[in-house]
Amino acid sequence: MALVGDGVGAAVLLDALSVGAAAPPGRITVVGPGVRRWRGLAFGADAVASLTNIGAAAMSVRPGDPGHYLRWAEATGTAGTAFPHRAVFGRYLEHTAGEAAARLRRRGCRVDVLTGRVTRVRRTPDGVDTRWEPLPGTAGAAVRRLESAAAVLCCGASEPADPYGLARSDGRVLAPYPLEELVAAVPPGARVAVAGTGLTAVDVACALADAGRCREITLVSRRGLLPSVRPAGPPHPVRHFTLDRIRTEGGLGGLLALLGAELAAEGLSFADLRVEWGGSESAADRLRRQLDDGGTAARALRVLRHAVGGTGAEAAGLLGLADRRRLDGRTGRKLRSLLFPMPAHTAVRVRELFDREVLRVVAGRIERGGGRGGAAFRVLPDAPGVGAVREADLVVNAVLRPSDEHLTEAEGVPPDSREGPVARMVREGHARAHPLGGVEADPLTGLLTGADGAGAPVHALGTLTQGVNAFACGLPWLARHSTRIAAALSAPG
Ligand SMILES: Cc1cc2nc3c(=O)[nH]c(=O)nc-3n(C[C@H](O)[C@H](O)[C@H](O)COP(=O)(O)OP(=O)(O)OC[C@H]3O[C@@H](n4cnc5c(N)ncnc54)[C@H](O)[C@@H]3O)c2cc1C
């Protein structure tokens, strides 16, 4: 079996293969650049100041063993915070992958981890033909060939987007990670515009503010919507929004009815969320209200978050394209901001930045060329009168490529020079691009669908299925997905 990519998905899948009831494959070969091996973008060793967005109790790599992370944290003396440090969680992933490889070897499976970049994946009548090359500058950097009976694409969406077409501007940081390098690159007293207002943008703002180097930080996106604040309280036991019920109800209307039933079970309804859908509140006012509010809107959000966090990605995968498009539009963005919140401790830091007037959030766009102050960029609010045009010396991108073309380049490789292996698969007819991003795949097992159909199984794991599985993000989903892929690959026939 070939695993394309060596990030979080690959680590979690190795674990799933190592603990599956069926015998593991005879040989597994992982190919990836080794830059943040097993940690991916999110959990690099540099992420010392940031905490995960999901609580420690839900960050196990094993869906059937929710205490797996917590036990590791206890054993390593890193437990004690409700939300693990990202860098610490990266160590857990490294440890998990190492243990999984050892376990697989004890079960008779040869495991090789190769440092390089996959350039091409083809289904052939005999299996899967994977071409890869060692990274530039290493000895013997000729293209090599790997033959396998199956492959899993877990090469993520590491290439960032360029929503404002600023790629060739000076003074622009395309990828914000590692944050330490970003912070070091910001000149003291700079005015920084951050493209994006999601969790990554919040991460960037906090890192820049902690370093105390910026005069002002402006987060910019089309809607100017920050992630909501995670409501406190116990988990909601999901009774209605289950995979079986979702399958029988069908359609977006059916999903909404099941979510309505979850709310009703707690004496709540969608009407309790009215305050969240109002459009006039500023980002700062919304954050302050959400931090102070333990009322019915917060309770309703908690119910929805637990329901959608449990099976939302799978549920979205079972919807037709028209319904999926609706989830991708304006309503979907709003839902995403509500359902994938920032932890309260992060929100407290953000509130403090608002109070000190270091941070602003703008619905608008960034343009090259400053105004009278001679800065390199301008931030233009969309609606006139909403706020003044601001100047910025530096733009930091905090938007990951929205996927239809993200089909990825290995880190360390210049983005202009080479086509990613998945894009090439699409061009050569071995995979089909999903209209909403990533590749067409079975919503539960990630098995590629819609291409030539014949040939050996190739699965997509992680960010590559984000067109199919809207709301697919985060470790819990990755763990469920990996377990299903491992089972599908081990099934006879
Ligand atoms: C900033 C940020 C914060 C996050 N925080 C959280 C959190 O707190 N909690 C949570 O649960 N989830 C979080 N996530 C989501 C989580 O990290 C992702 O779900 C997960 O990393 C996806 O795994 P992946 O394997 O698809 O991609 P990645 O982990 O990015 O791995 C992809 C790998 O493939 C490699 N690759 C790319 N191209 C090639 C090629 N051509 N050949 C070989 N290898 C290649 C890359 O170098 C990389 O190693 C966060 C994500 C981000 C970006």
Total domains in the chain come to 3
pLDDT over threshold 90, residue 73: yes
| Residue position matching structure tokens 């669908």 | 449
| Amino acid identity at 328 | D
Note whether residue 144 is domain-resident.
yes
Q: What three-state secondary structure class fits 347?
A: helix
pLDDT for residue 2 is more than 70: yes
142-187, pLDDT tens digit by residue?
779 999 999 999 988 655 566 666 665 677 777 787 788 888 888 8
Q: Ligand 1 centre and the CA of 473: distance in Å?
A: 10
- 1 contacts 152 by C-beta, under 8 angstroms: yes
Residue where a domain terminates, one of 355, 376, 397: 397
How many angstroms separate the alpha carbon of residue 382 from the centre of ligand 1? 32
Tell me which of 65 and 336 has the higher pLDDT: 65
Query: Given 309, 339, 369, which residue is the final one in a domain?
Result: 339
Q: How confident is the model at residue 140 (pLDDT cuts 50, 70, 90)?
A: low
Residues 352 and 216 in one domain: yes
Over range 62-66, report the average pLDDT.
93
CB-CB contact of 194 with 218 (8 Å): yes
Q: Identify the H or E element spanning 147.
A: strand 144-148
CA of 396 to the centre of ligand 1 (A): 19
Q: How far is CA 295 from the centre of its chain?
A: 30
Q: What is the pLDDT of residues 6-22, one digit of tens each?
A: 999 999 999 999 998 88
The token pair at 269 is 């309804």
- pLDDT: is 306 or 280 the higher one? 306
Does 190 have pLDDT greater than 70? Answer: yes
Same domain, 361 and 479: no
Helix axes 86-106, 8-19, angle to 10 degrees: 40
Assign residue 39 the CATH number of its domain: 3.50.50.60
Q: Is the dihedral of CA 355, 361, 367, 371 positive or negative?
A: negative
Are residues 22 and 110 both part of a single domain? yes
CA 132 to ligand 1: nearest atom: 42
User: What are the residues facing 377 on neighbouring strands?
Assistant: 368, 392
**245: number of Cβ within 10 Å:** 17
CA of 461 to the centre of ligand 1 (A): 10
Q: What is the pLDDT of residue 409?
A: 36
Q: 8 alpha carbon to ligand 1 midpoint, in Å?
A: 6
| Containing structural domain, residue 259 | 243-339
Same domain assignment for residues 146 and 20? yes
Query: Same structural domain for residues 329 and 392?
Result: no
Residues facing 160 on adjacent strands: 400
For atom 18 of ligand 1, the residue with the nearest CA is 474
Summarised one tens digit per residue, pLDDT across range 389-413 is 788 999 998 886 543 333 333 344 4
d(CA 22, CA 336): 37
Residue 250 has pLDDT above 90, yes or no: no
> What atom in ligand 1 is closest to the CA of residue 118?
42
Residue nearest to atom 39 of ligand 1 (CA): 410
Q: Do 460 and 325 have their domain in common?
A: no
CA distance 179 to 54: 20
pLDDT tens profile 444-480:
999 998 666 567 899 999 888 888 887 776 899 999 9
117-145: b (≥16 Cβ within 10 Å) or e: bbbbbbbeeebbbbbbbbbeeeeeeeeee
Under the banding of pLDDT at 50, 70 and 90, the label for residue 128 is very high
d(CA 337, CA 223) in angstroms, rounded, equals 11
Residue 165 within a domain:
no
* Residue 54 CA neighbour count, 13 Å, CB half: 21
Residues in contact with ligand 1 (CB, 6 Å cut-off) = 4-9, 31-33, 35-36, 40-42, 52-54, 117-118, 154-156, 158, 200, 203, 408-411, 420-421, 462-463, 473-475, 478
Rounded distance from Cα 13 to ligand 1 centre (Å): 13
Same domain, 321 and 438: no
What integer is the mean pLDDT of 369-381? 78
Nearest atom (ligand 1) to Cα of 31? 43
Of all protein residues, the one whose alpha carbon is nearest to atom 13 of ligand 1 is 474
> Could you read off the pLDDT of 336-360 as tens digits, one per residue?
778 888 988 899 999 999 999 999 9
Q: Please state, for a pLDDT cut of 90, what percent of the chain lies above it.
A: 43
CA distance to 134, 318, 323, 460, per residue, from 436 (Å): 32, 14, 12, 15
Considering the domain architecture, whether residues 137 and 154 belong to the same structural domain is answered as: yes
Question: What's the confidence (pLDDT) of residue 127?
Answer: 92
Question: What is the 3-state composition of the chain as percent helix, strand, coil, each rounded to the nearest 5?
Answer: 35, 20, 45
Residue corresponding to tokens 């069926």: 22
**Domain for residue 470, yes or no?**
yes
Residue 472 and residue 452 in one domain: yes
CA dist., res. 415 & res. 401, Å (int): 12
Cα of 163 to ligand 1 centre, how many Å?
Answer: 20
Cα 26 from Cα 110, distance rounded (Å): 6
SS3 201: helix
Q: Which of 35, 41, 464 for a ligand 1 pocket mutation test, highest count of atoms within 8 Å of Cβ?
A: 41
Mean per-residue pLDDT over the chain, rounded = 85
pLDDT at 280: 77
Average pLDDT value for residue range 370-387: 74
